Amino acid sequence: MLDKVLRMGFLYDFYGALLTEKQRQCLEMHYLSDLSLAEMAEQLGVTRQAVHDILRRAEQLLDEYETKLKLFERFQHEQQTISQVYGLISSLSDEVKQLEPVNRSLHILELLLDYGKEA
**Residue number with CB closer to a second copy (5 or 71):** 71
DSSP of the chain? ---HHHHHHHHHHHHGGGS-HHHHHHHIIIIIS---HHHHHHHHTS-HHHHHHHHHHHHHHHHHHHHHH-HHHHHHHHHHHHHHHHHHHHTS-HHHHTSHHHHHHHHHHHHHHHHHHH-
**Residue number with CB closer to a second copy (21 or 91):** 91
**Residue number with CB closer to a second copy (25 or 105):** 105
Name the helix (H) or strand (E) containing 47. Answer: none
Binding footprint of a second copy on the chain (CB under 8 A): 14-15, 17-18, 65, 68-69, 71, 74-75, 78, 81-82, 84-85, 88-89, 91-92, 96, 99, 101-102, 104-105, 108-109, 111-112, 119
Minimal distance, residue 80 CB to a second copy, in Å: 11
**Residue number with CB closer to a second copy (25 or 41):** 25
Minimal distance, residue 59 CB to a second copy, in Å: 18
